[in-house]
């Protein structure tokens, strides 16, 4: 049978032609699923790298395999001339959206590969990929309308100006998110992995995903806070990345010293405090100054306030400074390390410790900070100082027992 006779037979027997085309399409689908689907999955599983596994999953090869029967149906639609136009439009529509879905899922796979690379620094490209995906969907919509209306896509694009105001309203959040994403990326404001604190949304945790429309934050209580991307540039937030990059986390705590326990040190207390290694030199220097003044003035000293005096709080502050400078877990250079007195109030005199740990790890930081405060609280009584606290039931019981 010649090709002409075969073509004539197909035209005269549309039912059999349809069954044959459906059967061939089914065979094409099975072959495509075996070759494209199982073949790619098998090859990806044979390699050591995980990048090809991510790419194959993103391609969705079993879904992409449907392109084979659709292409076959489109190319053989002329065998059914009475329905050729409808079959071609249906096949082209299916090919268009299968291709769009495959491209979009492949872009997601590329983003996963990018974030899985060792060189990934937390700068997300998800926002840009989302823009590309939106453009692909818009192109698909325009081409679909063009396909069913038999009008050129250029004509449809020319008419877009008339509905631009409506599109701006519909895609308002997307446009704002796009501008915000550009600002975030250009100014390096936020990266995935940053510790972000956003009081306006009660968010406090690590950024786990940044895309065009949302920023996901995993809070320290394991809840998830989702913030619109455009809102993050409007809200006040704190990014702790600088602390991690600097390699030091600040300690800023104060001890409330009971004002009534602050007093001048006599010679006996100075000698006793001078046995503490960390303040030995300081105390000896103060003793020399006091003795020199007494030798120079002699009988002219008629008040305890005459001449140089040392308070137990002064010695305690020097002890704290020396203790912090000798602590191996604190930065001693390039970062501030000091002890200062704040304004006295009804709770006593605050003596504040200000310094930076050598680690930014939360657990290690809290342990170091607690050890330092515990040590200083226990050391204060050796300097005849009391740490202030509000009276408790035990205090009132002891007072009643002694009265």
pLDDT score for 98: 85
Token readout for 91 is: 């096949």
* Spatial distance between the Cα atoms of 215 and 91, rounded to a whole number of angstroms: 39
Portion of the chain with pLDDT greater than 90, in percent: 28
pLDDT tens digits, one per residue of 30-87: 877 777 777 777 776 677 777 767 777 777 777 777 787 888 777 777 767 777 788 7
State yes or no: pLDDT of 231 exceeds 80.
yes
Task: Quickly list DSSP for 341-363.
Answer: E---BTTBEEEEEEEEES---HH
State yes or no: pLDDT of 16 exceeds 70.
no
Closest CA relative to residue 231, chosen from 192, 193, 203 = 203
Report the Cα 184 to chain-centroid distance in Å.
13
- Stretch 269-279: mean pLDDT: 91
* Spatial distance between the Cα atoms of 63 and 27, rounded to a whole number of angstroms: 15
Inter-CA distances, 119 with 113, 128, 235, Å: 11, 19, 30
- Going across the sheet that includes 214-219, the strands are 224-228, 214-219, 203-210, 195-198, 238-239
CB 231 within 8 A of CB 275: no
pLDDT score for 303: 63
CB 184 within 8 A of CB 192: no
Which CATH number is 185-240 given? 2.30.30.60
CB 230 within 8 A of CB 179: yes
Model's pTM, two decimal places? Answer: 0.57
CB 72 within 8 A of CB 24: yes
Closest CA relative to residue 208, chosen from 221, 224, 229 = 224
Domain boundaries defined on the chain:
3-173, 185-240, 249-297+304-402
400: pLDDT confidence band, cut at 50, 70 and 90? low
pLDDT tens digits, one per residue of 84-98: 788 778 888 888 888
* Spatial distance between the Cα atoms of 272 and 18, rounded to a whole number of angstroms: 107
Length of the chain: 403
pLDDT tens digits, one per residue of 101-111: 888 888 888 87
CB 249 within 8 A of CB 243: yes
State yes or no: pLDDT of 227 exceeds 70.
yes
* Spatial distance between the Cα atoms of 377 and 397, rounded to a whole number of angstroms: 24
Give Rg (Cα) of the chain. 39
Backbone angles phi, psi at 250, to 5 degrees: -75, 140
Task: Return the higher-pLDDT residue of 248 and 295.
Answer: 248
Mean pLDDT score of the chain, rounded to an integer?
Answer: 80
Portion of the chain with pLDDT greater than 70, in percent: 81
380: pLDDT confidence band, cut at 50, 70 and 90? very high
Name the least confident of 172-186, 328-342, 374-388. 172-186
């Amino acid at each position: 049978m010649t090709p002409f006779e075969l073509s004539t037979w197909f035209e005269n027997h549309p039912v059999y032609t349809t069954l044959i085309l459906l059967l061939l399409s089914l065979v094409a689908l099975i072959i495509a699923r075996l070759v494209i689907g199982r073949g790619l999955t098998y090859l990806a599983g044979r390699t050591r790298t995980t990048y090809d596994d991510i790419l194959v999953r993103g391609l969705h090869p079993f879904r992409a395999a449907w392109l084979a029967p659709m292409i076959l149906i489109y190319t053989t639609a002329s065998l059914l001339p009475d329905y050729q136009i409808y079959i071609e439009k249906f096949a082209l529509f299916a090919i268009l959206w299968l291709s769009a879905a495959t491209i979009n899922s492949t872009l997601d796979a590329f983003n996963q590969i990018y974030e899985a690379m060792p060189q990934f620094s937390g700068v997300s490209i998800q926002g840009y990929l989302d823009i590309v995906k939106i453009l692909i969907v818009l192109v698909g919509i325009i081409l679909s309308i063009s396909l069913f209306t038999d009008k050129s896509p250029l004509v449809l694009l020319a008419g877009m100006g008339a509905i631009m105001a409506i599109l701006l309203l519909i895609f308002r959040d997307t446009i704002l998110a796009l501008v915000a994403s550009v600002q975030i990326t250009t100014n390096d404001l936020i990266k995935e992995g940053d510790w972000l604190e956003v009081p306006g949304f009660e968010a406090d945790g690590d950024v786990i995903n940044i895309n065009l429309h949302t920023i996901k934050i995993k809070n320290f209580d394991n809840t998830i806070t989702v913030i619109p991307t455009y809102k993050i540039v409007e809200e006040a937030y704190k990014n702790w990345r600088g602390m991690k990059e600097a390699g030091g986390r600040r300690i800023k705590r104060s001890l409330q010293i009971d004002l009534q326990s602050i007093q001048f040190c006599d010679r006996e207390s100075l000698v006793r405090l001078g046995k503490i290694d960390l303040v030995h030199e300081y105390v000896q220097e103060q003793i020399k100054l006091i003795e020199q003044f007494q030798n120079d003035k002699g009988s002219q000293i008629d008040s305890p306030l005459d001449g140089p005096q040392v308070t137990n709080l002064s010695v305690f502050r020097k002890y704290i400074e020396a203790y912090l400078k000798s602590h191996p877990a604190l930065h001693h250079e390039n970062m501030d390390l000091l002890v200062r007195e704040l304004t006295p109030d009804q709770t006593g005199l605050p003596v504040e410790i200000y310094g930076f740990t050598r680690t930014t790890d939360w657990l290690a930081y809290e342990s170091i900070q607690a050890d330092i405060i515990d040590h200083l609280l226990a050391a204060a009584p050796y300097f005849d100082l009391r740490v202030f606290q509000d009276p408790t039931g035990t205090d009132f019981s002891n007072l009643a027992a002694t009265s």
